[in-house]
């Protein structure tokens, strides 16, 4: 009964409600770029690691250590 | 003939990072709700704060999805190269390597350095954060061993 009588609390970032406004205000403010960068930080490092795994360290590219080679054709 | 397993390793490692990211996001952030992206800074004590955390969880998942998509694209390219060996141990090992790297790097950056959240937010920085890092190290070791086994398999097949 209490649940039925309580006001609905629409709070999505796109909702045009009081709570929705609060959510938007606390997400899209001056700290947004910094938090976005902080959230992206591990992923930037992941991509650098993937680059190194694929190409090797930039200075050692030519060495291509990952190649398993044989002089004669199989 | 020259073989190059680097494209398979890099593609599968990115896929492993993506899979690890989804396990972290789906299992810990959503199903267990032990922590959310900004839960150390924006505690989940009311609806507004929960919505804010949910938004940043979504951004985290978006980055994870992009990384997985890149991994899939690189994997497709790798599989279409003649010089890339189709070695299951290399593939599975790289998946483990990626997942382990995810836990280790995400754990160090988000849990320890920036402290956006912890594994069990109510406890703050706890033994569970350390176990999260340890799981990463173990998976990296398992992955490396499997990749090495894969390379030996390739060498045997061409001798």
Which residue in B52, B82, B93 has the most chain A C-beta atoms within 10 A of its own C-beta, making it the best mutation to test that interface? B52
The pLDDT of residue B3 is 85
DSSP designation for A72: S
| Percentage of chain A exceeding pLDDT 90 | 41
Q: What pLDDT score was predicted for residue A71? A: 40
d(CA A28, CA B127): 34
CA distance B73 to B77: 6
Contact A68 B37 (CB under 8 A): no
Low-confidence ranges of chain B (pLDDT < 50): none
3-state secondary structure of A69: strand
More confident: A66 or A22: A22
| DSSP β-ladder status, B2-4 and A67-69 | antiparallel
Q: With an 8 Å Cβ cutoff, are A22 and B4 in contact?
A: no
Å between A5 CA and nearest CA of chain B = 18
Q: In the prediction, which pLDDT does A41 show?
A: 96
Mean pLDDT of A25-54: 94
Q: What pLDDT sits at residue A74?
A: 31
pLDDT score recorded for residue A72: 38
**pLDDT reported for residue A13:** 80
d(CA B136, CA B123): 21
pLDDT score at A57: 79
What tens digit of pLDDT does each residue of B54-84 get?
A: 999 999 999 999 999 999 999 999 999 988 8
ipTM of the complex, rounded to two decimals: 0.89
Contacts from B21-24 at CB under 8 Å and sequence distance 24+?
A: B21/B60, B21/B61, B21/B63, B21/B64, B21/B67, B21/B68, B21/B102, B21/B106, B22/B61, B22/B64, B22/B68, B23/B99, B24/B102, B24/B103, B24/B106
Question: In the prediction, which pLDDT does A66 show?
Answer: 52
Q: What percent of chain A has pLDDT over 70?
A: 66
State mean pLDDT over A50-58.
86
Identify the closest residue of chain B to A69 by CA–CA distance: B2
Interface test with A, best of B43, B55, B159 (most A CBs within 10 A): B55
pLDDT at residue A6, as a whole number: 53
pLDDT at A70: 43
* C-beta neighbour count of B73 within 10 angstroms: 12
């Amino acid at each position: 009964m209490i649940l039925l009588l309580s006001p609905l609390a629409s709070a999505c970032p796109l909702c045009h409600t009081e709570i929705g406004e609060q959510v938007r205000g606390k997400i899209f403010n001056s700290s947004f770029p910094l938090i976005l960068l902080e959230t992206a930080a591990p992923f930037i490092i992941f991509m650098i690691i993937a680059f190194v795994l694929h190409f090797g360290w930039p200075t050692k590219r030519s060495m291509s250590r990952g190649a398993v080679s044989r002089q004669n054709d199989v | 003939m020259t073989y190059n397993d680097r494209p398979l390793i890099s593609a599968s490692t990115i896929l492993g990072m993506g899979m690890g990211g989804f396990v972290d996001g789906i299992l810990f952030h959503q199903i267990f709700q032990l922590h959310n992206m900004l839960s150390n800074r924006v505690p989940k004590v009311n609806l507004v704060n929960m919505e804010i955390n949910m938004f940043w969880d979504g951004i985290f998942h978006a980055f994870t999805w992009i990384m997985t998509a890149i991994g899939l694209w690189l994997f497709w390219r790798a599989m279409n190269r003649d010089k890339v060996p189709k070695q299951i141990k290399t593939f599975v090992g790289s998946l483990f390597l990626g997942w382990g790297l995810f836990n280790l790097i995400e754990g160090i950056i988000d849990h320890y350095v920036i402290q956006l959240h912890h594994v069990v937010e109510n406890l703050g920085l706890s033994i569970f954060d350390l176990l999260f890092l340890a799981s990463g190290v173990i998976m990296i070791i398992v992955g490396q061993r499997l990749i090495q086994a894969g390379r030996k398999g390739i060498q045997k097949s061409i001798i």
